[in-house]
Structure 1
Amino acid sequence: MSHTDPSFPGLHGRPDQGWVNDPNGLAVIDGRYHVFFQYNPNAPVHAGICWGHVSSTDLVRWHQEPIALVPRAGGPDERGCFSGCLVDENGTPTAVYTAITHTDYTGVALATSDRAAVSWVQEDAVLADSDQPRGIGIRDPYLFTFGGHRYAVQGGGLAGEKPRVYLYGCDDLREWSFLGELLTGDDPIAAAYGDSNVWECPNLFELDGSWLLLVSPLSIEPDGHGHGEVFALIGELEPDGDGLRFRPSSAGPVDIGPSFYAPQVLKDGERRLLWGWTKDLGRPVEAITAAGWTGALTFPRELRLVDGVLLSEPAAELVALRQERLAPVDGVVTARAFEVEGSTAAVRLALEHDTITETVLDHQREQSSDIRILVDGSIVEVFVDGEPPQTLRAYPGSRSQWRIEGGAELRIWLLGLPGPANRIHD
């Protein structure tokens, strides 16, 4: 592990320094995975947001690429290049992203690149604030196709009213047309997932014969804002006049942990992969400043729909991170990255510091089920068969140790990059 902070997630592919939040622009180009993300390289604070970029051929070894998109003085993205997606436009990788102007208004801008997705040319806005419907927080374009046409969704809301997902036609990427509301928080199935003002980062895609709409609920209050539990609406997408209508029939959480928000989904052949933002929780600002970094993306997850419930598991490629089996004495693990897997009804994961013990996970069920726990620095990702995953955070220091309590059927693996050098980046 190259970073001196024991809490740093060295296998998750993030840069050593700076602020990281939402995954953006997930793509596979000529057999290489590209993951972009909200990034401030200069400090662990949310300011001057760029698009950071890593790439990989195997979802295990991540190569740090040059920063892709940057705020431009006097440009449509002067205050930041916020979330968006990436499409292959007739062979040209094209980023479609939220552009924050000097007045904090939002629009949609484009940027094009070579096939390596390394050299980017940022263009003018294709959708200015004056082109947007009345609302607050309208942002995070996500593109999809239906019935031979291309559409985009953006999240947003209305002050004092319910959140909304807005629909646009964009067969021509440089000529957008507003088609109305795809779904609002007045829908009874959506309303069951709490009271928020804005839906952020909508993802609309097909999986196992159904259409899914993922939204990240944001509550904007006079004294600040809060992130709610990301949920998936499952239903049917239908033509509706010049636009479309999404009709949900069920809903459920995408992740039940407190440190998960703003995911994005990638179509990778027949499977759907998901990355989310795992935000820091409970770490003092002074510790974040001293460490020089905050935020990360989750490991990639494969989505599946089982009896109308959205589930996920670690991408199959991640088994390549397993090194040797560990045989902890009294359940103590001192490694910075490890995996626990097996079938059990009960397992407890604790982080022991000099004078206190922190219970990170206390899994208790009436019957045994398959479980996988991936720990990388301060990130803990838990996958239980038949249940939504949960993303947790706990911060080991230089003298901390992990303790695992569970049945003898649990197997524990040291995690690291394949190859003799065991490097973090390729």
Structure 2
Amino acid sequence: MTYNHSEQAIKANIYINQQQEKVKNSKYRLNYHMMPPVGWMNDPNGFVQYNGEYHLFYQHYPYAPKWGPMHWGHAKSRDLVNWEHLPVALAPSEYYDIGTMDDHGCFSGSAIEKDNELYLFYTGHSIERDPMQVQCIAKSEDGINFTKENQNPVIDHFPKDGSKDFRDPKVWQYDNQYYMVVGSKKDGKGKALFYQSSNLINWTYRGVVAESNGKQGDMWECPDLFPLEKEHVLILSPMYGEKNEKPIIIFGEMDYNTAKFSQERSILLDYGHDFYAPQTLIDEKGRRIMIGWMDMWFSKRPSEGDGWVGAMTIPRELTYNHNGIFIQQPIEELKALRHNHHHIENIVINGVHSFPKLDGIATELCIDFDIVNSDSPVFGLHLRCSTDRSEKTIIKVDTNNEEIIVDLTSAGKGESGIYKAPYSPKTNGKLNLRVFLDTTSIELFVNHGEQVITNRIYPHTSSIEVDLFAEKGKAKVLKADKWSLRSVWK
């Protein structure tokens, strides 16, 4: 059965408008993160700047707080901080993205502008079809109303180097040509398949631009290939069998003539549980900005009972520091949310000390520890603490093992676990921790973004207190700044 796309999108928007008032009162709603108006959210899609505004699309099932036939939700912003929800951009409607079973829809993809029109590239998916996944286009003259291309699917079959798992097109322009990477798998290796076009409609397969080295998963989702200063990088979200794993960033060189990306080194993008399918754009200021799904498959999600699930990370700028180390930093625009500033300095911690001025739910906390003059082997913070301390999220600095540890064992109703990231001792003897807390999330940036740990947490709304602690010795805090962060949602 074929449906009219606009009818399906209108149906979804009517339902959203009817339900969103109920969701607004959920105690789990976030203050300054992108989240769906109702229903389910996963991968960011079509992250783009168009006509001076940032657009973010996302995998969306509006009718329930669970994964279902995928639509593209849509929001826009002038500053990547204050978002406006827009009507659903894509809904399953055509033979290549709809079926009688629930496993169908408009899967993940990207966006690009051409001749003042906004093109959405997405994977049409129907488990009942052969091939199961094909690459498709929808176009818009205003960035809001989209029409699916009559020539869809523009890539109607996976190449010999891939398989039926053939999805998540990322499209960009280089040297007057358009290029696309698509995630796939074959022979136990994840692969990024490479295409070229002069007009965005007719695509020529160029080959496997990169593949797993045997330790990077047997399926690559959401590949994103782009230049970053003096080198190229490939971001991908690997799978191992049916298990999704932490996204990685691979550094190397890209040769468009041979259609090959050479791998030189790779690292995890985020050491937490709740970070997947990141996508980047380069904006009019020349910044490479990334946003990711702040959740993970098969997680505990207490907000499900309130009719919604999923959120996005704060936007991060990707760059290198003065030592040439790759870093991720929260975008500068987030500073506009700050108010209620408190500052402390030159504090020595021995045991556990409560700091009421550092408490809160929607909070940014920036702390410099003096590593050289601290003799405690383990020190750090307790965040989102209940008054009796039975509930808390723990950040530990383990100086013996040079690890940052986020312990969610007592963090609340969400996933329980312990997440670790390495840190490099600074030559100046300082360790910087920058924490963004929201109602149900924590994003920790270590040493100005050299490592990041992101997790969803679901503590009680009354758990807002903060402790500093040091075990078996003393720890010195050079300075700490805390700001409350205002809500961007009315």
Q: Same fold (TM over 0.5)?
A: yes
Matched, 1:344 2:369: yes
Q: Which structure has the bigger radius of gyration? A: 2
Give the Cα separation in 2 of the matches to 1:279 and 1:169.
33
| Among 194, 200, 209, the residue aligned to 2:221 | 200
Cα distance in 2, alignment partners of residues 391 and 239 from structure 1:
34
Q: Which amino acid aligns with 2:163?
A: G
Aligned to 2:90: 69
| More displaced stretch, 366-375 vs 244-253 | 366-375
CA deviation string 1:21-54 (max 9, x = no partner):
1111011112111111111111111112111111
What is the alpha-carbon distance in structure 1 between the residues aligned to residue 78 and residue 71 of structure 2?
23
Aligned partner of 1:359: which letter?
T
Q: Does 1:150 align with 2:172?
A: no
> Would the alpha carbon gap of residues 136 and 348 (structure 1) be closer, same or farther in structure 2, given more than 3 Å must change?
farther
Runs of 4+ in 1 over 6 A off after TM superposition: none
Shift in Å, 1:206: 0.7
Give how far 1:103 is off.
Answer: 1.7
| 2:96–2:134 Cα contact (<8 Å) kept | no
**TM-score, normalised on structure 1?**
0.87
Partner of 1:390: 453
Q: Equivalent residue for 1:19?
A: 40
What is the rounded CA distance, in whole Å, between the counterparts of 2:360 and 2:281 in structure 1? 31
In the alignment, does 2:309 pair up with 1:294? Answer: yes
1:196-345 maps to which residues of 2 (within 5 A)? 196-220=217-241, 225-240=242-257, 243-269=258-284, 270-279=286-295, 284=300, 287-306=302-321, 309-326=325-342, 330-332=354-356, 335-344=360-369
State how far apart, in whole Å, the 2-side matches of 1:291 and 1:377 are: 15
- Deviation of residue 393 (structure 1)? 1.8
User: Which of these residues, 182, 192, 197, is aligned with residue 209 of structure 2?
Assistant: 182
Gap change, CA 1:274 and 1:5, over 3 Å in 2: same
2:136 equivalent to 1:109: yes
Alpha-carbon spacing, 1:217–1:142, altered in 2? closer, same or farther (3 Å) = same
Does the CA contact (< 8 Å) of 1:381 and 1:391 recur in 2?
yes
SS at match of 2:226: strand
SS at match of 2:334: helix
Change (3 A) 1:29 1:195: closer
Shift of 1:208: 1.0
Specify the alignment match of 2:420 in structure 1.
Answer: none
Is residue 93 from structure 1 mapped to residue 118 from structure 2 by the alignment? yes
Find the aligned partners of 1:37 and 1:85 in 2 and give their Cα distance.
Answer: 10
Asked if structure 2 preserves the Cα contact closer than 8 Å seen for 1:155 and 1:202, the reply is: yes
SS at match of 1:317: helix
Residue 13 of structure 1 contacts residue 63 of structure 1 at CA under 8 Å; is this kept in 2? no
- Is the CA contact 2:291–2:312 (under 8 Å) kept in the aligned structure 1? yes
* Equivalent position to 1:163, from 156, 179, 190: 190
Name the structure 1 match of 2:147.
Answer: 121
State the one-letter code of the partner of 1:266. L
Does structure 2 conserve the Cα–Cα contact (< 8 Å) formed by 1:76 and 1:125? no
Contact 1:13 1:424 in 2 (8 A): no
**Which of 48, 52, 61 pairs up with 2:69?**
48
SS at match of 1:12: coil
Alignment of 1:361-372 (within 5 A): 361-365=395-399, 367-372=429-434
Higher strand share: 1
The whole-number CA distance in structure 2 between the counterparts of 1:275 and 1:84 is 14
Among 436, 447, 450, which residue is 1:374 paired with?
436
User: What is the TM-score with the length of structure 2 in the denominator?
Assistant: 0.76
**Mind listing any 5+ residue stretches in structure 1 that lack a counterpart?**
418-422
**By how many angstroms is 1:317 displaced?**
0.3
State the secondary structure of the residue aligned to 1:125.
coil
Distance in 2, matches of 1:355 and 1:226, equals 34
The question of 1:357 aligning with 2:420 is answered no
Distance 1:185 1:280, change over 3 A: closer
CA distance in 2, matches of 1:379, 1:257: 11
CA distance, structure 2, for counterparts of residue 85 and residue 233 of structure 1: 20
RMSD over equivalenced CA pairs, Å: 2.6
Number of aligned positions between the proteins: 405
Aligned to 2:419: none
Query: 1:232·1:310 contact (CA, 8 Å) conserved in 2?
Result: no
Alpha-carbon offset, residue 356 of structure 1: 2.6
Q: Give per-residue Cα distances to partners, 1:307-343, cap 9 Å, x unaligned.
A: 5543100001000011212589923566331110132
Q: Deviations over 1:80-104 (max 9, x none)?
A: 1111110101110010111112526
Which has the larger displacement, 273-282 or 119-128?
273-282
Aligned amino acid, residue 122 of structure 1: K
- After alignment, is 369-378 or 299-308 more displaced? 299-308
Deviations 1:37-76 (A, max 9, x none): 1111111111121111111111221111111111115344
Q: State whether residues 237 and 244 of structure 1, in contact with CA within 8 Å, keep that contact through their aligned partners in structure 2.
A: yes
Alpha-carbon offset, residue 408 of structure 1: 6.8
Q: CA deviation at 1:304?
A: 0.5
Following superposition, the deviation at residue 409 of structure 1 comes to 1.7
Query: Following TM superposition, by how much is the alpha carbon of 1:175 offset from its aligned partner in structure 2, in angstroms?
Result: 0.7
Deviation of the 1:130 alpha carbon: 5.7
Distance in 2 between the 1:368 and 1:83 partners?
Answer: 41
Q: Which is worse superposed, 312-321 or 148-157?
A: 148-157
Aligned to 2:90, what secondary structure does the other structure show?
A: coil
Cα distance 1:349–1:53, how it changes in 2: closer, same or farther (>3 A)? farther
Report if the CA contact (8 A) 1:360-1:394 is conserved: no
Sort the Cα spacing of 1:310 and 1:132 in 2 relative to 1 into closer, same or farther, 3 A: farther
